[in-house]
Amino acid sequence: MIRSELIQKIADENPHLFQRDVERIVNTIFEEITNAMARGDRVELRGFGAFSVKKRDARTGRNPRTGESVEVEEKHVPFFKTGKLLRDRLNGK
Amino acid sequence: MGEKTLTRMDLSEAVFREVGLSRNESAELVESVLQHMSDTLVGGEQVKISSFGTFSVREKAARVGRNPKTGEEVPIQPRRVLTFRPSHLMKDRVAAGNKR
């Protein structure tokens, strides 16, 4: 399923809403999650999962082609942990 | 860095501000988005949200695990796990936003 299919499903269930509003609703949800993580915040959606930011320490990496050492700076990466309910549902519980 | 925790309530508040539906209906729509995503994943299909990321279901084979406390061997059944791969855009925004 891709974004437009998700939007279509929500639109079909809510015939009283304009398609463009459904698009804004769905986009707002994902935008809000990304914005929160960009601020370093967590987003916890019980039953579904939690989005958080993990810190990766600076390290000395290597260019795999040339074998040359390169300093990789500390960085922050997005992380998702599946919620218990969804994890159980995936396994038929 | 923020360290605040947002919940469904914050997402529905954002929808409420953006579209001007009632708070109640905004909350229902957030729930229904999460429900459709969950149902699709439980059905074994991946969910690909452009410029956000991709959720996919992976099959893990059975293996022998170990109770770390007692050292006892325990069989781990085959199971399905969910993985999220953030888009480049999300990775860039998260890296830029948290840079010191």
pTM given for the model: 0.91
Give per-residue pLDDT as tens, B65-82: 999 999 899 998 899 999
pLDDT-derived band at B8, boundaries 50, 70, 90: very high
What is the arithmetic mean of pLDDT over A21-49?
Answer: 97
Please write down the long-range contacts of A19-28, taking CB distance under 8 Å and 24 or more positions apart: A21/B19, A21/B21, A24/B18, A24/B19, A25/B15, A25/B18, A25/B19, A25/B26, A25/B29, A25/B33, A26/B33, A28/B11, A28/B14, A28/B15, A28/B18, A28/B19
Band (pLDDT 50/70/90 cuts) for residue B2 is low
| Confidence class for position B100, pLDDT limits 50, 70, 90 | confident
| pLDDT tier, B10 (very low <50, low <70, confident <90, very high otherwise) | very high
**Which residue in B36, B35, B85 sits closest to B58, CA to CA?**
B85
Mean per-residue pLDDT for A25-44? 97
- H helices of B1-100, where? 8-19, 23-42, 88-97
pLDDT score at B3: 80
Q: Report helix, strand or coil for A66.
A: coil
- Is B4's CB within 8 Å of A13's CB? no
Name every chain B residue with its beta carbon within 8 A of the beta carbon of A75.
Answer: 95, 98-99
Q: Which residue has the tokens 């410029």?
A: B51
Q: Does residue A70 carry a pLDDT above 60?
A: yes
Closest CA to B26 of B39, B38, B40, B15: B15
Contact B42 A41 (CB under 8 A): no
Cross-chain residue pair A40–B53, CB shorter than 8 Å: no
User: What are the pLDDT digits (tens) for B14-68?
Assistant: 999 999 899 999 999 999 999 999 999 999 999 999 999 999 999 999 999 999 9
| A-interface mutation test, from B40, B42, B49, most A Cβ less than 10 A away | B49
Q: Tell me the per-residue pLDDT of A49-67, one tens digit each, with 9 for 90 and over.
A: 999 999 999 999 998 899 8
pLDDT beyond 60 at B1: no
Question: Within 10 Å of residue B95's Cβ, how many Cβ atoms?
Answer: 17
Three-state SS for A72?
strand
* Averaged pLDDT of chain A: 95
Q: What residues of B are in contact with residue A33 (Cβ under 8 Å)? A: 6, 11, 52
